[in-house]
Amino acid sequence: MEIIIKENGSVASEAAARVVARLVREKPNAVIGLATGSTPLVLYKEMIRLHKEEGLDFSQVSTFNLDEYIGLEKDHEQSYHKFMWDNLFSHINIKPENVHIPDGMAVDVPAFCAEYERKIVEAGGIDLQVLGIGSDGHVGFNEPTSSFASRTRIKTLTQQTVADNARFFAGDESKVPHHCITMGIGTIMDARMNIMLAFGEGKAEAIAATVEGPVSSMMPASILQHHPSAKVFIDEGAASTLK
Ligand code: F6R
């Protein structure tokens, strides 16, 4: 695990964007795993800038998103589909057919999840996975106690995650979906490289436990200690309780 501490989230995000850009230049048909939430917003802005100003070409890139809420239509204001198109895909030259995001309205969820895993394999596996981290240590929506061997599946959000994400639903916890489809920890660990971003003191305890604590399914992100190529980009706030 490589820990990269920068003075603020913007500088850390720009450093992470350089890792993405290097991959895309070296492997134009790279397969990239993506996250949503507030953390990767500056990373995505920087990827857009690199595309518009430096010609970074996404025309052969494929993407697989980590997760989606169950029960939200693709055009719902808070769906991860809408988030990704608004904050990244509409601004780069990615082909819509190369974008993969779990379908929160899937009728047969287990079949959808098996197919999602099959598509990742068919694409050649994920070269680089972008991750955020929940304040309870979740990656994707793999909440504490998730199996390290898990694959894409339905999960129930913890009360902590519902409370954390209520800020996107006008502060109303009752509007936050309670279930999601998420890549599993096994899926994430299969990515050839993982880059995690975490900013602010609110993430400090989760980051300290992830980086310095024991590897435990109670802190799902801690499994990245066993990943052969994991980089953690953090700001001083998120680094504030590291030893
Ligand atoms: C989102 C995801 C989640 C978030 C995490 C942090 O696709 O996989 O694990 O990365 O909940 O969210 P923010 O960045 O909003 O603090």
Query: So what's the pLDDT on residue 64?
Result: 98
Ligand 1 mean position to 140 CA, how many Å? Answer: 7
The predicted model gives 83-95 an average pLDDT of 98
Give me the chain's average pLDDT, please: 97
Residue-wise pLDDT for 114-123, tens only, equals 999 999 999 9
Neighbours of 99 (CB within 10 A): 18
Ligand 1 mean position to 36 CA, how many Å? Answer: 6
Residue-wise pLDDT for 126-146, tens only, equals 999 999 999 999 999 999 999
Predicted complex ipTM: 0.99
Query: So what's the pLDDT on residue 101?
Result: 98
Query: So what's the pLDDT on residue 173?
Result: 95
Q: Which of the four pLDDT bands, split at 50, 70 and 90, describes residue 57?
A: very high
Parallel/antiparallel/unpaired status of strands 128-131 and 99-100: unpaired
Ligand 1 mean position to 132 CA, how many Å? Answer: 5
- Site to probe by mutation for ligand 1, drawn from 13, 38, 39, 233 as the one with most ligand atoms within 8 Å of Cβ, is 39
Active-site residue flag, 108 = no
Active-site residue flag, 179 = no
Query: So what's the pLDDT on residue 68?
Result: 97
The predicted model gives 93-110 an average pLDDT of 97
Domains of the chain (ranges; CATH) run 2-235 (3.40.50.1360)
- Nearest C-alpha to atom 15 of ligand 1 is from which residue? 37
Query: So what's the pLDDT on residue 196?
Result: 98
Q: Would you give the end-to-end CA distance of the chain in angstroms?
A: 15
Please give the helix or strand (H or E) that residue 235 lies within, else none.
Answer: strand 230-235
Assess whether the C-beta atom of 200 lies below 6 angstroms from ligand 1: no
Q: What percent of the chain has pLDDT over 70?
A: 100
For the entire predicted model, the pTM comes to 0.97
Query: So what's the pLDDT on residue 138?
Result: 95
Going from the C-alpha of 67 to that of each of 7, 155, 238, the distances in angstroms are 29, 10, 23
Assess whether the C-beta atom of 101 lies below 6 angstroms from ligand 1: no
